[in-house]
Amino acid sequence: MTPIEVNVERVSGDEGGGRRHPNTCPNCRSHFRDDELRHSLRVCAQCNHHFAVGAMERIEQLLDPGSFVEVGGDLRAADPLAFVDLKPYTDRLLDAELATGLGDSLVAGSGKIVGRPTAVAVMDFAFMGGSMGSVMGERFCLAADLAVARRMPLISVTASGGARMQENILALMQMAKTVGAIDSLREVGVPYISVLAHPTTGGVIASFASLGDVVVAEPGALLSFAGPRVVEQTTGEKTAPDFGRSESNLRLGQLDAVVPRRELRGELAKLLMLFSPAEDEPTGDNEPLPTVGSDDNPIDRVLGMFGLGRKRG
Ligand SMILES: [Zn+2]
How confident is the model over 176-202, as pLDDT tens digits? Answer: 999 999 999 999 999 999 999 999 999
What's the 29 CA to ligand 1 centre distance in angstroms? 6
Q: Which range, of 67-76, 170-179, 226-235, 248-257, averages the lowest pLDDT? A: 226-235
What's the 16 CA to ligand 1 centre distance in angstroms? 20
The pLDDT value given to residue 298: 59
Question: From CA 258, how far away is CA 235, in angstroms rounded?
Answer: 28
What's the 264 CA to ligand 1 centre distance in angstroms? 19
Question: From CA 157, how far away is CA 56, in angstroms rounded?
Answer: 11
Mean pLDDT of 271-288: 63
What's the 32 CA to ligand 1 centre distance in angstroms? 10
The burial class, CB within 10 Å (0-12 / 13-18 / 19+), for 187 is: middle
Rounded to 10 degrees, the C-alpha dihedral 172/173/176/179 comes to: -80
Question: From CA 259, how far away is CA 129, in angstroms rounded?
Answer: 23
69 pLDDT higher than 60: yes
Q: What is the pLDDT of residues 27-56, one digit of tens each?
A: 999 999 999 999 999 999 999 999 999 999
Domain locations along the chain = 12-51, 52-278
* Amino acid letter for position 239: T
The burial class, CB within 10 Å (0-12 / 13-18 / 19+), for 289 is: middle
CATH number listed for the domain at residues 52-278: 3.90.226.10
What's the 14 CA to ligand 1 centre distance in angstroms? 15
What's the 4 CA to ligand 1 centre distance in angstroms? 30
The pLDDT value given to residue 313: 39
What's the 184 CA to ligand 1 centre distance in angstroms? 41
Mean pLDDT of 213-240: 95
Contacts of 78 (CB under 8 A, 6+ apart): 134
What's the 259 CA to ligand 1 centre distance in angstroms? 18
Backbone phi, psi, residue 229, to 5°: -65, -45
